[in-house]
Amino acid sequence: MRATRSTEQGESARLPSGIGAAPLSFRVASVVILLGLVIFAIPDSIPFYYKQVGILIFWFASLGTAWTISCGYGGMFSIGNAAFVGTGAYTSTLLFLHFQISPWLGMVVGMALAALLAAGVGYPAFRFGLRGDYFALITIAFSGIVYELVNGASGITGGGQGKPIRVLGDRPWLFQFTDRRIYYYIAMAMWLLTVVVAYRIRHSRLGYKLLAIRDDEPAAARAGINGTTVKLVGFVITAAITAALGTFYAQLILFIDPGSVLALDLSVTLILMAVLGGMASYLGATVGAFILVPLSQWLAANTAVAGADLFANGLILVLLMLYMPHGILGLLRNSPRWRRVVGW
């Protein structure tokens, strides 16, 4: 299947892309790092706190990567992805609490619901040609609606008080584990899956169409690309992945409230991950999360004053935009070989 596709795309596509294009030393190093990350959680002596940071790194990396699919590739600047995180978290939790449906199934329902919501917002927005700043405002308004609905319907959702999930001990079928390592491995698996999906999309027809639309939508339309459909597909994929991550977060913390899974801060933080690493690359958010999550956690834990971690986020964002707007991986974009590795 691979071979037929590369013949279709001509000579240049036959060059290896992704990690395969990197020098051997780099490939060895990435395998070693990945193995190191797998082994990291195994010793029991690793304190709970570090495991939690490890889980959050993969969680934020996945959120940022999902965002990359629609924004980094397709230029749909959504500042409302927290709405999808919240959709996933609340759908699975409410189904579990009210109907005893396993959060694993709830996750799928949440993904479907988020995809539906994304289509409901995305279709009119793309159809009526709202892009750039206006699309950003629409997504903010949309996440504002979801926030207020959840906050207001306290009879069902617990409102601003949040909703705790009963701790049942080790129940794999109900997405609850006493062993924190399992959460770590689930987070890692979800991250790997998200990155692979993002990578495959980047090298698929859909990916090229998204890139064409991002760079010049009128030209892409003249080349016969249906902008509305392509953007919609990208946005829906982002929403579905984001919702699955929302369910994971609910099961990790076993408590959700609008302030943690629906807030604007979350939407901005996940964007920051992608932007710091380089938002046009499928690896960008991962690089960003590995730097930013430990930094924020450290600042939150080790500074006496509240707000230091978010202040640092803001400072990083401003400095980044002034001096390195393409992010860390963006520095590699002028090298033909590394450009293929990071999928710029």
Partner 1 sequence: MFRAALASGIFLGSIYAMVASGLNLIFGVVKIINFAHGALLALGMYMAYFLITLAGFDPYLTLPVVVVAMFLVGWAIQSGIINRIMDSDRTSQLLITFGLALMVQNGAIMLWGHEYRSATVPYARKVFDILGIRFSFAALLALTGSAISLVLLYLFLHRTRTGTAIRAVSQQPDSAALAGINVKSIYGIAFGVGSAMVGVAAVFMVPIYFVQPSVGDPFVLMAFITVVLGGLGSVWGAAAAGMMLGVVQNLFATMVNVEMAPTFVFLVFMVIMFFRPYGLFGRAERIS
DSSP 163: E
Size of the site for partner 1 (CB under 8 A): 43
Residue of 16, 20, 23, 314 interacting with partner 1 (CB under 8 A): 314
Residue of 28, 315, 335, 337 interacting with partner 1 (CB under 8 A): 315
Give dist(CA 150, CA 143) in Å, integer.
Answer: 11
**Stretch near partner 1 under the rule CB under 8 A, chosen from 83-91, 137-145, 172-180, 336-344:** 137-145
Residue type, 215: D
Nearer to partner 1, 97 or 137 (CB): 137
- Per DSSP, the residues of 225-255 read --HHHHHHHHHHHHHHHHHHHHHHHHHHHSE
Identify the three-state secondary structure at position 177: coil
331: contact with partner 1 by CB under 8 A: no
Q: Would the CA dihedral through 49, 256, 240, 75 be positive or negative?
A: negative
Measured at the alpha carbon of residue 126, what is the angle toward residues 88 and 283, in degrees to the nearest 5?
Answer: 55
Residue of 85, 165, 289, 316 interacting with partner 1 (CB under 8 A): 316
Residues 6+ apart with CB under 8 A from 289: 57, 58, 60, 61, 64, 273, 277
83: contact with partner 1 by CB under 8 A: no
140: contact with partner 1 by CB under 8 A: yes
Nearer to partner 1, 35 or 318 (CB): 318
Site string for partner 1, 273-312 (x = CB under 8 A): --x---x-------------------------xxxx-xx-
Residue of 56, 138, 270, 273 interacting with partner 1 (CB under 8 A): 138
Distance in Å, CB of 60 to partner 1, minimum = 16
Distance in Å, CB of 110 to partner 1, minimum = 21
Residue of 101, 108, 116, 136 interacting with partner 1 (CB under 8 A): 136
Identify the three-state secondary structure at position 296: helix
Nearer to partner 1, 137 or 182 (CB): 137
- Contact (Cβ atoms closer than 8 angstroms) between residue 203 and residue 341: no
- Contact (Cβ atoms closer than 8 angstroms) between residue 301 and residue 262: no
Residue of 14, 15, 128, 337 interacting with partner 1 (CB under 8 A): 128
Distance in Å, CB of 124 to partner 1, minimum = 4
Distance in Å, CB of 283 to partner 1, minimum = 18
Q: Which two tokens stand for residue 188?
A: 């890692």
- Contact (Cβ atoms closer than 8 angstroms) between residue 124 and residue 231: no
Q: Which of 342, 335, 216 is CA-nearest to residue 279?
A: 342
- Contact (Cβ atoms closer than 8 angstroms) between residue 75 and residue 213: yes
Q: Give the interface with partner 1 as residue ranges (CB under 8 A).
A: 77, 79, 121, 124-125, 128-130, 132-134, 136-138, 140-142, 144-145, 148-149, 151-152, 268, 271, 275, 279, 305-308, 310-311, 313-318, 320-322, 325
